[in-house]
């Protein structure tokens, strides 16, 4: 009989389960009223006196082992249930993490910064509320200069000297006032103009200004830089420079990139010409250098101004500039970017 008890002990020790009903069946089998242990207790009387001690110890061992096993398995089961109630079902698939999206203006701005930073341009910024000197006068647009009418300006009513900057060219002036050449900087930012709002124009939009000042900078450097930019930005390096006029550059040019006429949309965005205007540029006027205390006999440079909104609309086929400032998440959520 002792051997039989030992067999049961091994069985008890090996038993394991995380199923509530199985554990209960196990308990009943060993510890229940009609269980294995009760059978041994009933048999105790018929055990010869000399073997009673050993038999009693073995039965007690079995009883303790069975009881401990039941307790341990039940405890494990309960702590599992506790965990579930705090954390839910740990095996269920995770909730998706909603990822934000970058604004298309930021995407294009960051692309432009990335492209120019690779050829040594840093990023500079200036205030959106400007004074007349930085927005106009220092840029070779003295008072009563007719070219001031090119940009309808929001003035602060109580002070005609203070205005919302009409272009990021104001940052050129600020940067040159504070830094000595060589200068290679781009200045992204928001600008304001008192214009009627429509699908194609808004009273505020975004520009990136570029400025390069050093000894011996020529128009050829400007052209090469523009070609590099259009190749990196649009994958297109055929450009043309049309003579133009800006008070702060001489000579001045407007840059067109050859977009092609392969698709219907090419026809639409280039108005059937294949060419697309993307920015203004030129050699910085010596008067501007003088206004910023840079010796124009020693230094020369080029500048350019790119409209971010227009490029964002072009690249992402956004039909209406107002969509860029309406903050509709159904629109904004479509733009994912690494930059």
Is 239 a binding residue for ligand DAH by CB under 6 A? The answer is: no
Query: What residues pair up with 209 in beta bridges, in sequence order?
Result: 187, 305
Residue 91 CB contacts under 8 Å (≥ 6 apart), including other chains: none
Cα distances (Å, whole numbers) of residue 81 to 77, 88, 202, 311: 6, 9, 60, 57
Question: CB-based burial of residue 324 (10 Å sphere; 0-12 exposed, 13-18 middle, 19+ buried)?
Answer: buried
CB nearer to ligand DAH: give 70 or 292: 292
Binding positions for ligand DAH, 289-318, rule CB under 6 A: 303-305
Using the rule CB under 6 A, which residue among 104, 181, 247, 282 binds ligand DAH? Answer: 282
CB nearer to ligand DAH: give 187 or 270: 187
CB nearer to ligand DAH: give 55 or 192: 192
Regarding beta strands 159-164 and 183-192, do their DSSP bridges make them parallel or antiparallel, or are they unpaired?
A: unpaired
Sign of CA dihedral 66, 71, 74, 79: negative
d(CA 279, CA 179): 25
CB nearer to ligand DAH: give 104 or 210: 210
250 is in an annotated binding site: yes
CB nearer to ligand DAH: give 102 or 179: 179
For 177, the 3-state DSSP assignment is helix
CB nearer to ligand DAH: give 8 or 136: 136
Cα distances (Å, whole numbers) of residue 303 to 57, 92, 171, 173: 100, 58, 11, 11
Q: Which stretch binds ligand DAH (CB under 6 A): 49-57, 119-127, 128-136, 279-287?
A: 279-287
d(CA 75, CA 94): 28
Is 246 a binding residue for ligand DAH by CB under 6 A? The answer is: yes
Radius of gyration for the alpha carbons in the chain, expressed in angstroms and rounded: 41
Using the rule CB under 6 A, which residue among 111, 225, 230, 249 binds ligand DAH? Answer: 249
Number of residues that bind ligand DAH (CB under 6 A): 11
CB nearer to ligand DAH: give 40 or 212: 212
Minimal distance, residue 259 CB to ligand DAH, in Å: 20
d(CA 214, CA 180): 9
What residue number has its CB nearest to ligand DAH?
305
Asked if 295 and 289 count as a contact pair (C-beta separation under 8 A), the reply is yes
Is 167 a binding residue for ligand DAH by CB under 6 A? The answer is: yes
Q: Which stretch binds ligand DAH (CB under 6 A): 31-39, 69-77, 88-96, 276-284?
A: 276-284
d(CA 321, CA 313): 7
Is 126 a binding residue for ligand DAH by CB under 6 A? The answer is: no
Minimal distance, residue 155 CB to ligand DAH, in Å: 17
> Position of tokens 């965005």?
269
Is 164 a binding residue for ligand DAH by CB under 6 A? The answer is: no
Is 169 a binding residue for ligand DAH by CB under 6 A? The answer is: yes
Site residues (CB under 6 A) for ligand DAH? 167, 169, 209, 246, 249, 280-282, 303-305
Which residues fall in the annotated binding site for Mg(2+)?
A: 250
């Amino acid at each position: 009989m002792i051997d039989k008890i030992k067999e049961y002990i091994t069985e008890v020790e090996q038993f394991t389960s995380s199923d509530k009903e199985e554990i209960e069946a196990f308990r009943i089998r060993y510890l229940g009223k009609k269980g294995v242990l009760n059978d041994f207790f009933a048999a105790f009387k018929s055990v010869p006196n000399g073997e009673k001690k050993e038999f009693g110890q073995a039965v007690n061992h079995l009883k303790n082992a069975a009881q401990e096993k039941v307790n341990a398995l039940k405890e494990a089961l309960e702590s599992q249930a506790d965990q579930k109630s705090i954390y839910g079902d740990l095996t269920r698939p995770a909730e998706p993490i909603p990822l934000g999206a970058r604004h298309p203006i930021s995407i294009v701005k960051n692309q432009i910064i990335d492209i120019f930073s690779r050829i040594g341009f840093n990023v500079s910024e200036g205030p959106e509320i400007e004074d007349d000197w930085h927005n106009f006068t220092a840029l070779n647009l003295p008072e009563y200069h007719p070219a001031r009418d090119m940009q309808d300006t929001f003035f602060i009513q109580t002070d005609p000297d203070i205005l919302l900057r009409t272009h990021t060219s104001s940052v050129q002036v600020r940067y040159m006032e504070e830094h000595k050449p060589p200068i290679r900087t781009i200045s992204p930012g928001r600008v304001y103009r008192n214009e009627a709002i429509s699908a194609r124009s808004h009273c505020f939009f975004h520009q990136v200004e570029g400025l390069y000042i050093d000894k011996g900078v020529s128009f050829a450097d400007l052209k090469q830089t523009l070609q590099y930019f259009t190749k990196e930005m649009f994958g297109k390096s055929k450009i043309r420079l049309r003579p133009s006029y800006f008070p702060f550059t001489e000579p001045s040019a407007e840059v067109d990139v050859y977009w092609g006429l392969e698709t219907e949309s090419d026809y639409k965005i280039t108005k059937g010409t294949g060419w697309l205007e993307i920015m203004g540029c030129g050699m910085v006027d010596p008067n501007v250098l003088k206004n910023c205390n840079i010796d124009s006999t020693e230094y020369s440079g080029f500048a350019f101004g790119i409209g971010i909104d227009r490029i964002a609309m072009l690249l992402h086929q956004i039909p209406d500039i107002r969509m860029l400032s309406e903050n509709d998440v159904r629109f904004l959520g479509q733009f994912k970017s690494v930059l």
